[in-house]
Amino acid sequence: MSAPKQPILPIKGKRNILITSALPYVNNVPHLGNIIGCVLSADVFARFCRLRDYNTLFICGTDEYGTATETKAIAEGLEPKQICDKYHAIHKEVYDWFNISFDYFGRTSTEKQTEVTQEIFWACHKNGFITQKDEEQWYCESCDSFLADRFVEGTCPDCGYTDARGDQCDECGHPLHAHQLKDPRCKYRKDCGKTPQLRTSTHLYLCLDKLQPEMQAYFAQAVEKGVWSANAQDITQSWFDRGLEPRAITRDLKWGTPVPLEGFTDKVFYVWFDATIGYISITANYTDEWQQWWRNPDDVQLYQFMAKDNVLFHSIIFPSSLIGTRETWTKVNHLSATEYLNYEDRQFSKSRGVGVFGNNAQESGIPADVYRFYLLYIRPETADTHFDWADLIAKHNNELLNNLGNFVHRALTFSAKFFDSKMTQVVLTDEDKESIAAINEEVGQQAKALRDLRVANASEEDCAPAETKLAELKEQLASLKLKIEEEEKAEGDN
């Protein structure tokens, strides 16, 4: 999405809301789980903020560096840059079709990304928060290459899933180190599958252990003052409880943000060190005045939306890297994480082609608003939920059409038939006033749900007033219709 002529900037004295949704990988077409997990949830909140006249900037973009891109490039016989260009356009088309109201949709494979990431790295390095460490890493003799985490698959040591990736298990969601996998196999080339060997490689680490006391103080204050989903709080606290350890921030890859430190220039930054920095660089590509948003914690409130498997990187690694610079940054104040949306009885998987993808939705003949309504209704806020076609039809027909749609349609058609769609002078009865007060209270509850980032709850409350008032409306309209017909008959008799 191209930037407007006049970029949105913070205004002193106004409520300035900076919203991000987790940056989607460009290794495939986004599926419905991706959409509700980050971009659609953030979109609803952004629309709510604009309706409340908050000064709002909604930023997103494609996450284009790392092994996911290299893997896809190998699979499709293209260069990584070609993959990024292809899938960035696909992502943008899908989000446009879903009416996602980004103020700017950018990407991470930019000069600004390199500039901002390297500046943050150098500041952390200068302040003693970067160390180096030898680590064992899988090496494939057949491919003559060290294997990044995503180029290794094997059996998860936690749940036994046989197709776990070297960085994370898609089945149980646990982050992994590649050497923890059982029965590892090389995925660097599609036709390889050989058993790799462990060799030593030296990498740079962010000293999360040194930053833990400051991080815990920041986290406690953020949770006290802001809105954090329960799972985001639990996941973050669990990492503190087990004790933060230095975490690798470099990888033996070619496609990524280059490491500027002598002796490490043949490596790139680990994607989850620099991907979250992408929020900053994307904003910098949107406006040269990006620091007004990202170096302004007194005037800006940062809301971040994601699925639960991304919490660690947003609640600990990203703010730790900013704290490590010893500079002033806007850090996340509010964090909303969903559980997982499953496809019927299986987990959505972009890499394995399980579920409904954006292009499938576009070609289904079902309007985008129907998908939006259903995904928001079943948003997995406190537990995993399931996308089910029969349930979509039932929710659409019963909740959206029969309740909300019928409520609006009856009132409007009645007004058109008997009052020429014009508002006449209305004399409210005590019963009318009570009814209006009840509806206003329900609308207030919906607004509170959105302020608390309970998007699914707000969607349910969208339909609740219509459901409870539809019977009353039918009765009142029938009574009014009878009265009008009696008056018309009396006039005709005269």
Q: What is the pLDDT of residues 459-469, one digit of tens each?
A: 665 555 555 55
- Which has the closest alpha carbon to 197: 186, 189, 211, 208? 186
- 45 domain-assigned: yes
Q: Is residue 464 part of a domain?
A: yes
Reduced 3-state DSSP string for 12-59: CCCCEEEEEECCCECCCCCEHHHHHHHHHHHHHHHHHHHHCCCEEEEE
What are the CA-CA distances from residue 340 to residues 101, 152, 244, 356, 383 (Å)? 23, 24, 25, 14, 7
Cα(333)–Cα(248) distance, integer angstroms: 26
> Has residue 11 been placed in a domain?
no
Do 221 and 273 fall into the same domain?
Answer: yes
Chosen domain end from 326, 343, 359: 359
Q: Rounded to an integer, what distance in angstroms lies between the CA atom of residue 297 and that of residue 279?
A: 15
Q: Contact at 8 Å (CB) between 332 and 364? A: no
pLDDT band of residue 484 (cuts 50, 70, 90) is: low
Number of separate domains in the chain: 3
Mean pLDDT of 103-113: 98
Confidence grade of residue 137 (pLDDT, cut at 50, 70, 90)? confident
**Mean pLDDT within 363-374:** 96
The pLDDT value recorded for residue 467 is 57
Instruction: State the pLDDT at residue 289.
Output: 98
**What is the structure's pLDDT at 345?**
81
Query: Are 245 and 351 within one domain?
Result: yes
What per-residue confidence (pLDDT) applies to 14? 97
Question: Looking at the structure, do residues 118 and 144 belong to the same domain, yes or no?
Answer: no
Question: Can you tell me the mean pLDDT for 34-41?
Answer: 95
3-class SS at 313? helix
Specify the pLDDT at position 351.
59
CATH number of the CATH domain containing 148: 2.170.220.10
Q: Same structural domain for residues 227 and 294?
A: yes
What are the tokens at 112? 């600004």
The pLDDT assigned to 314 comes to 98
Task: Decide which of 180, 204, 228 is a domain's last residue.
Answer: 204
The region of weakest confidence among 182-186, 316-320, 462-466 is 462-466
Asked whether the predicted pLDDT for residue 98 surpasses 60, the reply is yes
pLDDT digits (tens, 9 = 90+) for 209-244: 999 999 999 999 999 999 999 999 999 999 999 999
The arithmetic mean of pLDDT across residues 116-139, rounded, is 96
Domain around 435: 403-492
Q: How far apart are the first and last CA of the chain?
A: 66
Domain identity same for 122 and 153: no
Q: What is the pLDDT of residues 401-438, one digit of tens each?
A: 877 777 777 778 877 877 777 877 777 888 778 877 88
Asked whether residue 5 is assigned to any structural domain, the reply reads no
Q: Could you tell me which residue, 425 or 294, shows the higher pLDDT? A: 294
According to the model, what pLDDT value does residue 439 have? 77
Instruction: Establish if 91 belongs to a structural domain.
Output: yes
pLDDT at 148: 80
**What pTM, to 2 d.p., does this model score?**
0.86
Residue 376 lies in a domain: no
* Residues 228 and 110 reside in one and the same domain: yes
Beta carbons of 246 and 207 less than 8 angstroms apart? yes
- Residue 286 shares a structural domain with residue 413: no
Residue type, position 286, single letter: Y
Q: Quick check: 167 and 156 in contact, CB under 8 A?
A: no
Q: Are 465 and 439 in contact (CB under 8 A)?
A: yes
pLDDT tens sequence across 148-158: 887 899 999 99
User: Is the pLDDT assigned to residue 488 strictly greater than 70?
Assistant: no
pLDDT reported for residue 356: 93
Judge if 174 and 289 occupy the same domain. Answer: no
Residues 277 and 178 in one domain: no
Give the domain CATH number at 244: 3.40.50.620
- Of 141-145, 282-286, 389-393, minimum mean pLDDT range: 141-145
Q: Which of 169, 204, 239 is the last residue of a domain?
A: 204
pLDDT at 285: 98
Look over the chain and give the mean of its residue pLDDT values, rounded to a whole number.
90
Give the model's pLDDT for residue 112. Answer: 99
Domain assignment present for residue 311? The answer is: yes
